[in-house]
Amino acid sequence: MIGAVVLSEAISYLAFHDPNAVGLIAIFLFIALIIYFAFRTGLRGGFIAVAITIFYYLYIIDSRDYTGAQFITSIQTTAVLGVLYVLLAWIIGWLKQTIDLLIEQEANEKRKLQAIVQQLPVGVIVADNNGTIIHGNQQLEKILGRKIREGLVAGRDIIAKGTHNGKEVGPSGWPLAHTLTTGKPVIDKEFKIQNDKGKDVVLQISASPIKSRSGKVIAAAAIINDITQQKELETRKDDFVNMASHELKTPITSMKLYIDSLSISLGKYNDERATKIMHNLKGQTDKLQKLVNDLLDVSRLQTGKLGFEKEDFRLDTLISEIIEVLQDSTKKHTIVYAKKAAVKVYADKFRIYQVITNLVTNAIKYSPQESSITINLVRKQGKAVVSVTDSGIGIAKDQQKRIFERLYQVADMKEKTYPGFGMGLFISKEIIRRHKGTIWVESEKGKGSTFYFSLPLNT
Ligand code: ADP
């Protein structure tokens, strides 16, 4: 400011020798300086600049020995300019302070958010669109057993080697990289890695893209959960179920044999009550055997130990055989075999038998009123498609995907009206999937359901 005063004096005397020129130069120079100081240091800086300017004007008036009208005009000009300068300094200073406050508030928010992310009980990585880490929290360091610095690249410097469903994961297979390239979120994928301390850990990773207003992916955030302990517990639980069902299998088979021979022996006495008891006993043992077999299948599926013995067979004939058996189990329902295309498939006959039986018994179970169940077998786009239609209780839209999950049942345990364990459709889905087919449902609550599955044809 002082420099500006000296400069103003020098220019006006050396270059112009004209008091009006001094005034004009001073006005422009000082407006610029007031703006500059008010913007740099806020209200205080602006007002100091104004004060210096006004003192300088007064100094000019005094040093140039103005008198009379010239003196009065100079004082009036200084007063008007002074008011303008104060206004200018005030507006710009206030603007500057408001902007500062906003920036400070945003910085505080950011600090708060960072502190929260730091303390989260799950690992968090935020990376820019090259995969370079912008932020990694404490829990992530704990999971990976190493320090996370900004600038490391996710998938190269950290979490670079691992497996998903037993297969090696390539650089683009990690959720963060996938999200960055496709712009789509990844939800709860499981990976096995060895952390920097040499410990095997199971991670559940989800990632989401962060997009600009124009929709361009500019960064991505991933949440990483260490589920190693949970997995160990699940494995122990599965092992237990597997062992228990194995142990139960033999006594149940013996029980069935004893019941059969007892039924034959009792048959000689023509005792109606005893025959009925034996019939019920057989029914209950069959149910127990089915439950144990389902438990074994689920645990074999979990451990990847369910093998298939494939052969060529006529699917239409298999369906006829199943209908014959199942029609005997119900008087309320009529099973109609409407369309029967003659198709051959190459599959595990017993397992396909199991799937169809499960779909038809479900159709019977979930159709409490007297009704018919229709089965169709058609060829469609090089595949055999089987459908089982009932007019029973139906399934709400939001449940339709979930019924194929392990142990999922629509009604909760408290209001359970239909017996079952929620294993049948899970087993069916896995059997069909492993035969390169698909299984799906179309249903409307209260109106009935159609379950479909497809298998590759073997013509
Ligand atoms: P479970 O019948 O032993 O409970 P499933 O896996 O076979 O187990 O079926 C899962 C759930 O799907 C059932 O609990 C039932 O709620 C629903 N479901 C299956 N089939 C039908 C059907 N035909 N009609 C209505 N609901 C069905």
pLDDT of residue 366: 93
Q: Is the pLDDT of residue 398 over 50?
A: yes
User: Cα(6) to centroid of ligand 1, in Å?
Assistant: 93
**Residue 371 Cβ < 6 Å to ligand 1:** no
Task: State how far the Cα of 154 lies from the Cα of 213, in Å rounded to an integer.
Answer: 25
Average confidence (pLDDT) over 158-164? 89
Average confidence (pLDDT) over 64-70? 80
Q: Could you count the other beta carbons within 10 Å of the beta carbon of residue 140?
A: 25
**Nearest residue to 81 via CA among 116, 62, 53, 101:** 53
Task: State how far the Cα of 29 lies from the Cα of 85, in Å rounded to an integer.
Answer: 12
What is the rounded (10 degree) CA torsion for 57, 59, 61, 67?
160
**Residue 291 Cβ < 6 Å to ligand 1:** no
**Residue 390 Cβ < 6 Å to ligand 1:** yes
pLDDT of residue 15: 55
pLDDT in tens, 201-244: 999 999 999 999 999 999 999 999 999 999 999 889 888 888 99
What the block records as the tokens of 422 is 């929620």
pLDDT in tens, 29-46: 888 888 888 888 888 888
Q: Which residue has the tokens 């893209």?
A: 209
pLDDT in tens, 234-286: 889 888 888 999 899 999 999 999 999 998 888 888 888 888 999 899 999 99
Do residues 290 and 312 touch, judged by C-beta distance below 8 A? no
Bridge partners of residue 193, in order along the sequence? 201
User: Cα(250) to centroid of ligand 1, in Å?
Assistant: 28
Task: State how far the Cα of 346 lies from the Cα of 430, in Å rounded to an integer.
Answer: 17
Backbone angles phi, psi at 162, to 5 degrees: 175, 180
Q: What is the DSSP letter of 15?
A: I
pLDDT in tens, 129-157: 999 999 899 999 999 999 988 888 888 88
pLDDT of residue 252: 94
> How many Å is the Cα radius of gyration of the chain?
41
Do residues 158 and 150 touch, judged by C-beta distance below 8 A? no
Q: Is the pLDDT of residue 53 over 70?
A: yes
**Residue 185 Cβ < 6 Å to ligand 1:** no
**Residue 428 Cβ < 6 Å to ligand 1:** no
**Residue 450 Cβ < 6 Å to ligand 1:** no
Q: For the whole model, what pTM was predicted?
A: 0.64
CA 409 to ligand 1: nearest atom: 14
pLDDT-derived band at 64, boundaries 50, 70, 90: confident
pLDDT of residue 415: 46
**Residue 388 Cβ < 6 Å to ligand 1:** no
**Nearest residue to 85 via CA among 40, 51, 42:** 51
User: Cα(277) to centroid of ligand 1, in Å?
Assistant: 29
Do residues 180 and 153 touch, judged by C-beta distance below 8 A? no
pLDDT of residue 446: 92
Do residues 21 and 9 touch, judged by C-beta distance below 8 A? no
**Nearest residue to 141 via CA among 118, 169, 161, 164:** 118
Q: Is the pLDDT of residue 23 over 70?
A: no
**Residue 422 Cβ < 6 Å to ligand 1:** yes
User: Cα(428) to centroid of ligand 1, in Å?
Assistant: 12
Q: Is the pLDDT of residue 408 over 90?
A: no
Task: State how far the Cα of 188 lies from the Cα of 62, in Å rounded to an integer.
Answer: 81
pLDDT of residue 388: 98
Q: Which residue has the tokens 């302990």?
A: 229
pLDDT of residue 423: 92
Nearest alpha carbon, ligand 1 atom 19: 362
